[in-house]
């Protein structure tokens, strides 16, 4: 129970991170016509950021996670 | 060859399967063994977000403009992450208040306003019907495309097909039946449908697997993986330019607008609200669902870009609508089974959305539009019927049919003019208008009904102007110049560039433009009007209950807003009419169990029960209608002037009480200070007394030792020593007697021996007793006494003690060389005055008041401590006081002092 507010605050932080990652000006840093491992750089960037956000949410909401406690 | 019969058979077979699953889900729920109560099913049901738009339209969008299909899925990922903050709060509020829909939510927050509920419903219905039509269009088009196999053409004409031959029409009818069966079987207090959720989750699995299959087939079957597709796309100019964003300022603004838009749509689309909030079984499911659902979105989107680019490469030179690449590509490769599976996948995406959306909308229409009208105009008639729940269910079923008809009609009339995605986005902007009222409503208590209403209407007007009317332009209902040159040629008011604003990247920029203006108008009006309008009492209480839901939901948070009386029987009858007698009895016995009530002995309902019944009713007919119903049963008494006065009075009493408390506290504080001071004085006294005792004891002991050790001491010396020993002993005895006396007086155990006394005698005795002392110091004594005095009543020995005290004090303090003491006795009608005057050092003014206090010893101006216990004057004061007299002193430093006391003359003699 005492963990709930902390979890929420961490999720808000992830939300803010997402806002930064998926918006100007960060995306403009990857706005180049380059193939990275055969895939356009911008596409890679989008999907990797997306996976990162999902991973972070999963990590934070994981029940009794030792890792999230020591963070 | 694919026969039409096979396709149709499969389609209706699939819908049949849905019926079976939903039926099974409902059965299990009735048995209490839910199959949907877990986070995985919950996450899958959230995936109803992915409609035909996702299944077909995303590829079309990606083929035209690359990454621009993506923000629609990034937004929900971000808001889903906030699930424990936003969704959890909304879910808790909905559960506590038995809210049935998003319209009900807004209406309930702003004082259970039926006006607000109906406005939200109208916006939702107008906004979402195009979206429903989009699904029907997808079903119809995909069927037509598949039906032409092996020919591949997406140039299908709906206008040529009569309604009776259109698959979409029959599918719509089947969906209506499904929605009626599993969405409106009976009126529940929670508005949850487990069978429906089971079917939706199943559909989410089907569409995901179908899309992944076709994605794998195209990427790895037709091409050589992702790398191959992107390498080839790089050589096509139209495709390689989609690898990046066009670098123009408006582009990123547009991108951000899309993310914001989809963030709101994910929560506030009626169907999303239905599955995420109303159908939620356990808040804990959020923990897993908020990352499982974004993961679902990610997986279903992985193959969008490869399929889009692959399709463009494959169909170079052929006119094929990219919206249907997932279907036409397997067809082009003669992969019949996969094409069929994709068709079913597309249908699952479309039907899932339609089912949930119509159920959510029908609840809104029934509760927010039909019920208020019924209650206002036909309630007297309704009262006669025993069971109103049938009327409500029929209203819901009719509205389901009506919505599907409207959706179908919209598709037949306008559907041909737009791509799938652009229709959907128009709906997104419409429901985004709910965001300020809801987000503000759960975090900001100041938001008022007028603010929410004004904001919604302002946003809706902007939406209509910038998005709805241009749609009609496309369909030919308005002149083309309306969007090219602005209305009446006024460029300034062009619905695509309002006030010449440019948020553009290509032909779809009107969405970002509309999002900006409509939300600006909406939020602006909401905030400003809220700040300048007065909320009513019920708005106040609802605002608090919503914003502080976690604070109140643990306790019994029944609204205590009802005053006045209602009979339990009336309430029960009313509830029975809406919920049936079985559910009503259950609800009442549950309430009785949790609140310790005995129905047989309880005739009139208290506020708690009335609030509870209101909530149960709200679950069936919406909060605004429930309030109207309850107010007809509860004889609510308006606040009278007496009650207002009572309240004011009560407040005053409370204030007075707190003042008393303050005073008592101050008194206690003072008493405490006094006690501390007394404690300090007692310590001082102890040290004085012990010192006083030790001095004579020491001298007695040392003299005795000298006598003991020196037997040859001269007789004269021996006599002198013995005299000192006796004197010191007397002094000791006196001191101890004083302490004992003082102790007796203090504890009230002094025995008083009251007799008639002649004060003259007492004074003469006292002088005789102290004569030796006076003689020793060679003090001149002057007496000023009358011949006779009236007798007084008192304790002779004690008064003698007072006199001895004062005289010995005077002797102690009078001038050392030419000491003079005079004693005077004066009489008047009421009392006797005795004055003892010395010519000593006198007492400073500031010490005069203290000198009668116990343990006080006044340090003389030379700094020496006087001898004695410091009790003499205090004891004297107590004795005089006991005789109802007074004792005082007048003195000046260096001019001697006068101690005086007065005693009342005995009344017996006087009268």
CA B648 to chain centre: 27
Interchain proximity A50–B294, CB inside 8 Å: yes
End-to-end C-alpha distance for chain A, whole angstroms: 18
Interface check for B83 against chain A (CB to CB < 8 A): the answer is: yes
**Both tokens assigned to B263:** 């963030």
| CB-side neighbour CA atoms (13 Å) of B73 | 32
pLDDT of the residue at B854 = 64
Please name the residue ranges forming H helices in B82-193.
Answer: 87-97, 102-109, 114-147, 167-183
CATH 3.40.190.10 for domain B4-551, yes or no, is no
| Residue at token pair 């008011």 | B493
Query: Nearest CA to CA, how far is A26 from chain B (Å)?
Result: 11
Interchain proximity A38–B226, CB inside 8 Å: yes
Q: How far is CA B106 from CA B92, B109, B517, B542, B622, in A?
A: 15, 5, 22, 11, 11
Picking from B73, B78, B251 by the largest number of A CB atoms within 10 A of its own CB, the best residue to mutate is B78
Q: Determine if the peptide bond prior to B150 is cis (ω within 30°).
A: yes
* Cβ-based contacts under 8 A for chains A and B: 102
pLDDT, block means (10 residues), chain B with 911 residues: 81 90 88 86 93 90 88 93 88 87 91 90 92 89 85 68 78 87 72 86 95 94 91 86 77 85 92 91 89 94 93 87 90 90 93 92 90 74 63 88 91 73 85 93 90 95 88 76 72 72 60 89 95 84 82 52 65 77 80 73 71 80 78 59 60 78 89 87 78 82 86 84 86 81 76 84 86 83 85 86 86 81 85 86 77 63 52 83 86 83 72 38
Interface check for B252 against chain A (CB to CB < 8 A): the answer is: yes
Minimum CA–CA partner of B304 in chain A? A43
pLDDT of the residue at B84 = 83
Domain B641-742, CATH among 1.10.287.130, 3.40.50.1370, 2.60.40.1120, 1.10.287.180: 1.10.287.130
Interchain proximity B290–A61, CB inside 8 Å: yes
Please name the residue ranges forming H helices in B710-856.
Answer: 715-747, 759-776, 796-813, 845-848
Minimum CA–CA partner of A1 in chain B? B284
3-state secondary structure (DSSP) of residue B816: coil
- B487, burial (CB in 10 Å: exposed 0-12, middle 13-18, buried 19+): middle
CA distance B357 to B778: 120
CA distance B102 to B663: 54
Residues in chain B with CB shorter than 8 Å from the CB of A63 are 287
Residues in chain B with CB shorter than 8 Å from the CB of A38 are 226-228, 230-231
Tell me if B628 sits within 8 A of B641, measured CB to CB: no
CA distance A43 to B308: 14
Domain B751-910, CATH among 1.10.240.10, 3.30.380.10, 3.30.565.10, 3.90.1150.10: 3.30.565.10
B4-551 and B751-910 in the same fold: no
Q: How far is CA A51 from CA A48, B105, B263, B642, in A?
A: 5, 33, 18, 66
- Which of B82, B247, B256 is closest, CB to CB, to A11? B82
pLDDT of the residue at B565 = 64
**Both tokens assigned to B852:** 């009668």
Picking from B39, B40, B74, B443 by the largest number of A CB atoms within 10 A of its own CB, the best residue to mutate is B74
Domain count within chain A = 1
Phi, psi angle pair for B823, to nearest 5°: -120, 130
Instruction: List, as ranges, residues 5-64 from A with C-beta within 8 Å of B.
Output: 7-8, 11-12, 14-15, 18-19, 22-25, 27-28, 31-33, 35, 37-43, 46-47, 50-51, 53-54, 57-58, 61, 63
- Confirm whether A70 is domain-assigned: no
Please name the residue ranges forming H helices in B365-500.
Answer: 371-384, 389-414, 420-432, 434-443, 449-463, 469-474, 481-484
The DSSP result for B67-104, as a single string, is GGGSHHHHHHHHHHHGGGTTHHHHHHHHHHHT--SHHH
pLDDT of the residue at B805 = 85
- Cross-strand partners of B904: B831
Interface check for B147 against chain A (CB to CB < 8 A): the answer is: no
Interchain proximity A40–B70, CB inside 8 Å: no
- Confirm whether A57 is domain-assigned: yes
Residues in chain B with CB shorter than 8 Å from the CB of A64 are none
Please name the residue ranges forming H helices in B485-621.
Answer: 510-532, 537-547, 549-552, 568-595, 607-621
pLDDT of the residue at B642 = 56
pLDDT of the residue at B654 = 75
Tell me if B867 sits within 8 A of B861, measured CB to CB: no
Q: How far is CA B356 from CA B88, B132, B203, B701, in A?
A: 21, 10, 12, 111
| Residue at token pair 């092996």 | B150
Residues in chain A with CB shorter than 8 Å from the CB of B71 are 22
Domain boundaries, given as residue ranges, for chain B: 4-551, 558-633, 641-742, 751-910
The DSSP result for B719-732, as a single string, is HHHHHHHHHHHHHH
Share of chain A above pLDDT 90, in %: 39
CA distance B760 to B894: 30
- Confirm whether A58 is domain-assigned: yes
- Confirm whether A9 is domain-assigned: yes
Three-class HEC string of B834-852: EEEEECCCCCCHHHHCCCC
Positive/negative CA dihedral, B569, B571, B574, B579 = negative
Three-class HEC string of B234-296: HHCHHHHHHHCCCCCHHHHHHHHHHHHHHHHHHHHCHHHHHHHHHCCCCCCHHHHHHHHHHHH
Interchain proximity B84–A15, CB inside 8 Å: no
- Confirm whether A42 is domain-assigned: no
- Which of B70, B81, B247 is closest, CB to CB, to A57? B81
CA distance B64 to B86: 35
**In residues, how long is chain B?**
911
Q: Which domain holds residue A7?
A: 3-37+47-65
């Amino acid at each position: 129970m005492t963990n709930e507010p902390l979890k929420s605050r961490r999720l808000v932080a992830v939300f803010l991170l997402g806002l930064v990652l998926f918006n100007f000006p960060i995306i403009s840093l990857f706005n180049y016509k380059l193939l990275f491992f055969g895939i356009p750089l911008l596409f890679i960037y989008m999907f990797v950021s997306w996976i990162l956000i999902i991973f972070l949410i999963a990590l934070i909401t994981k029940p009794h996670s030792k890792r999230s406690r020591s963070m | 060859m694919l026969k039409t019969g096979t396709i149709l058979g499969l389609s209706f077979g699939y819908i049949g399967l849905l019926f079976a699953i939903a039926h099974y889900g409902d059965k299990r729920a009735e048995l209490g063994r839910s199959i949907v109560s877990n986070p995985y099913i919950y996450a899958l049901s959230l995936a109803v977000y992915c409609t035909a738009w996702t299944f077909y339209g995303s590829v079309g969008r990606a083929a035209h403009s690359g990454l621009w299909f993506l923000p629609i899925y990034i937004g929900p990922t971000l808001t889903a992450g906030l699930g424990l903050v936003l969704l959890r709060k909304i879910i808790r509020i909905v559960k506590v208040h038995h809210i049935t829909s998003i319209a009900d939510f807004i209406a309930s927050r702003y004082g259970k306003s039926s006006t607000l509920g109906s406005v939200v419903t109208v916006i939702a219905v107008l906004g979402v019907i195009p979206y429903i039509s989009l699904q029907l269009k997808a079903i119809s088009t995909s069927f037509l495309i598949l039906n032409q196999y092996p020919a591949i053409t997406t140039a299908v004409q709906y206008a040529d097909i009569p309604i009776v031959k259109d698959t979409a029409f029959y599918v719509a009818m089947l969906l209506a039946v499904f929605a009626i069966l599993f969405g409106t079987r009976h009126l529940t207090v929670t508005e949850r449908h487990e069978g429906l959720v089971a079917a939706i989750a199943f559909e989410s699995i089907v569409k995901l697997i179908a899309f992944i299959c076709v994605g794998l087939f195209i990427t790895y079957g037709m091409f050589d993986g992702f790398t191959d597709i992107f390498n080839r796309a790089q050589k096509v100019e139209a495709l390689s330019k989609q690898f990046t964003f066009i670098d123009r300022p408006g582009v990123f603004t547009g991108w951000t607008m899309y993310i914001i838009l989809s963030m709101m749509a994910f929560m506030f689309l009626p169907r999303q609200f239905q599955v995420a909030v109303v159908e939620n079984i356990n808040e804990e499911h959020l923990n897993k669902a908020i990352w499982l659902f974004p993961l679902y979105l990610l997986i279903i989107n992985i193959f969008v870009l490869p399929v889009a680019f692959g399709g463009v490469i494959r169909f170079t030179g052929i006119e094929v609508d990219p919206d249907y690449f997932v279907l036409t590509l397997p067809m082009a490769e003669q992969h019949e089974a996969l094409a069929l599976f994709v068709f079913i996948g597309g249908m699952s995406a479309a039907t899932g959305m339609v089912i949930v959306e119509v159920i959510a909308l029908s609840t809104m229409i029934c509760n927010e539009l039909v019920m208020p009208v019924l209650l206002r105009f036909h309630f007297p008639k309704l009262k006669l019927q025993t069971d109103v729940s049938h009327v409500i269910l029929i209203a819901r079923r009719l509205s389901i049919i009506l919505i599907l008809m409207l959706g179908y009609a919209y598709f037949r009339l306008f559907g041909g003019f737009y791509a799938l995605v652009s229709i959907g986005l128009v709906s997104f902007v419409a429901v985004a208008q709910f965001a300020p009222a809801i987000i503000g409503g759960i975090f900001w208590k100041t938001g008022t009904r007028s603010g929410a209403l004004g904001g919604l209407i302002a946003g809706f007007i902007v939406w209509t102007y910038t998005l709805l009317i241009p749609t009609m332009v496309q369909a030919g209902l308005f002149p083309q110049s309306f969007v090219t040159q602005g209305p009446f040629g006024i460029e300034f008011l062009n619905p695509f560039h309002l006030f010449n604003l440019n948020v553009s990247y290509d032909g779809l920029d009107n969405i970002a433009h509309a999002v900006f203006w409509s939300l600006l108008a909406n939020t602006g009006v909401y905030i400003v009007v809220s700040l300048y309008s007065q909320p009513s009492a019920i708005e106040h209480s609802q605002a608090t209950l919503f914003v502080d839901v976690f604070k109140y939901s643990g306790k019994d948070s029944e609204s205590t807003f009802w005053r006045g009386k209602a009979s339990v029987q009336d309430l029960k009858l009313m509830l029975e009419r809406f919920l049936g007698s079985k559910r009503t009895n259950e609800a009442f016995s549950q309430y009785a169990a949790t609140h310790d009530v005995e129905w047989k002995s309880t005739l009139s309902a208290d506020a708690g029960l009335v609030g509870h019944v209101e909530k149960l009713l709200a679950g069936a007919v919406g909060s605004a209608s429930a309030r109207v119903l309850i107010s007809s049963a509860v004889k609510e008494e308006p606040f009278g002037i007496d009650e207002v006065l009572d309240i004011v009075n009560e407040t005053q009493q409370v204030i007075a009480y707190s003042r008393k408390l303050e005073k008592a506290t101050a008194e206690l504080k003072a008493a405490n200070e006094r006690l501390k001071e007394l404690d300090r004085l007692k310590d001082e006294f102890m040290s004085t007394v012990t010192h006083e005792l030790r001095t004579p004891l020491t001298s007695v002991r040392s003299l005795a030792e000298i006598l003991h050790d020196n037997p040859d001491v001269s007789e004269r010396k021996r006599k002198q020593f013995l005299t000192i020993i006796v004197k010191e002993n007397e002094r000791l005895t006196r001191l101890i007697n004083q302490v004992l006396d003082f102790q007796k007086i203090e504890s009230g155990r002094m025995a008083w021996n009251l007799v008639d006394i002649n004060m003259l005698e007492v004074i003469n005795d006292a002088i005789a007793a102290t004569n030796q002392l006076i003689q020793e110091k060679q003090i001149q004594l002057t007496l000023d006494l009358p011949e006779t005095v009236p007798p007084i009543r008192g304790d002779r020995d004690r008064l003698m003690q007072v006199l001895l005290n004062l005289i010995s004090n005077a002797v102690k303090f009078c001038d050392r060389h030419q000491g003079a003491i005079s004693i005077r006795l004066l009489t008047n009608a009421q009392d006797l005055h005795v004055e003892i005057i010395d010519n000593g050092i006198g007492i400073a003014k500031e010490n005069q008041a203290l000198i009668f206090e116990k343990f006080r010893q006044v340090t003389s101006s030379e700094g020496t401590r006087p001898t004695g216990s410091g009790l003499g004057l205090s004891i004297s004061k107590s004795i005089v006081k006991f005789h109802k007299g007074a004792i005082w002193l007048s003195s000046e430093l260096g001019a001697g002092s006068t101690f005086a006391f007065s005693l009342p003359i005995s009344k017996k003699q006087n009268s």
